[in-house]
Amino acid sequence: MQDNTYIVVMAGGIGSRFWPYSRNNRPKQFLDILGTGRSLLQMTFDRFNKVAPAEMFYVVTNKHYLELVKEQLPEIPENQILTEPLRRNTATCVAYATYKIAKSNPEAKVIVTPADHLIVQEDKFREKIDIALVACQEGNKLITIGIKPNRPETGYGYIQYISKPGDQVKKVKTFTEKPNLKLAKTFLESGDFVWNSGMFVWKAQSAIAAFETYMPEVAEVFEDGLAFYGTEEEESYIKKAYSLVKNISIDYGIMEKSDKVFMVLGDFGWSDLGSWMSLHENRKKDQSNNVIEANAILYDTQNSYIKVDSKKLVVVQGLDNYLINESENVLLICKLDAEKKFRTFVNDAKNKGEDYV
């Protein structure tokens, strides 16, 4: 276990690209998407519990998911489940947790992680986290875990790094959040870019210094909250604080601007499980590259994902690159790689009734 090491789990998203399986009342981080008997949130806890004990965890989530977090992670003290009154993206989420942790332990080191990622090689993962924890103690380094790209993905941030032989911690040259396809292809071809995994390692004081420099309005709000953290007034103060700050990611707000960003390469089998397509890549497939989680008979069908309650027989013919999912009261049939359409799907379904989202 690492002394002074805290884990901040970001668990407030709604997982709209996994709709209709993921719903507003139970988003994907609370689902056993991989069939392991543990939700993605619980798998994240299990992974980091080998780095730090439960009393060093903070979970930041939407206020509507407090009971779900308590139910799934009873090991974590309730006062360390931080509830957000509004969705204000990752910069606000990270600031809230960091300032609260720093109040109780100014020497804290913080690992920030999403709640819904897949890590295949967990021993190697912990080795890389340990490297980052040691490195972050020097100066005000902000360390991100980078992933070697295998396609020109436009949904991730890209990190260009300075490569020196033997360096396990590499200086970041540029940090570009979600480029267009042409730029993503250029990054992939250059060979000196990696994906931003969304996992960060730093001293709490380093993060606070970065907020003060690049997001002073956020720093001021959460600095003013120091008198309220851990008191009965915390909830009402946070409600006010969230109404004062912008909706912006930590990537845009700090990582793109700072000259203190470093990268540790995370070659441990990673997926952000951000869409049905990414889940398809990580599930067992038949000889026609189909993922079948259903009582199904398939004809002339390939590269597809069929997930339907096993009480129904599903007969499919002539599909290529399709998703068929029936969850509760919604049946969705669409192209498997249509993840950019999901915001439209969900908005239009909401117009039909709140029960559909």
- Write down the pLDDT at residue 2: 58
Task: Specify the pairing of strand 291-293 against strand 305-307.
Answer: parallel
Same domain, 284 and 147: no
Checking if the pLDDT of 201 tops 70, the result is: yes
Are 182 and 283 in a shared domain? no
Number of domain units in the chain: 2
Q: 78 and 160 share a domain?
A: yes
CATH number at residue 261: 3.90.550.10
Give the model confidence (pLDDT) of 127-175 as tens digits: 999 999 999 999 899 999 999 998 898 888 899 999 888 789 999 999 8
* Contact indicator for 283, 291 with CB cutoff of 8 Å: yes
- pLDDT per position as a tens digit, 266-287: 999 999 898 999 999 999 999 9
Q: Which range of residues forms the domain containing residue 17?
A: 5-271
Q: What's the pLDDT at 154?
A: 86
pLDDT at residue 86 in the model: 95
Whole-angstrom CA distances from 238 to 23, 90, 93, 110, 212 are 26, 15, 11, 21, 19
Last residue of a domain, one of 271, 298, 315: 271
pLDDT tens digits for range 34-82: 999 999 999 999 999 999 999 999 999 999 999 999 999 999 999 999 9
pLDDT in tens, 225-264: 999 999 999 999 999 999 999 999 999 999 999 999 999 9
pLDDT at 165: 81
Mean pLDDT taken over the chain: 95
Whether residue 207 is found in the same domain as residue 256 = yes
Residues 62 and 152 in one domain: yes
pLDDT for the residue 1? 46
Q: Same structural domain for residues 142 and 245?
A: yes
- Residue 153: predicted pLDDT: 86
Q: Last residue of a domain, which of 271, 294, 317? A: 271
166 with 204, same domain: the answer is yes
Residue 300 sits in the same domain as residue 222: no
149 close to 194: Cβ distance less than 8 angstroms: yes
Confidence check: pLDDT of 297 > 80: yes
Q: Which of 145, 257, 171, 158 is nearest to 212 (CA)?
A: 257
The answer, yes or no, to whether residue 343 has pLDDT greater than 50, is yes
The mean pLDDT value for 93-109 works out to 97
Domain boundary among 256, 271, 286: 271
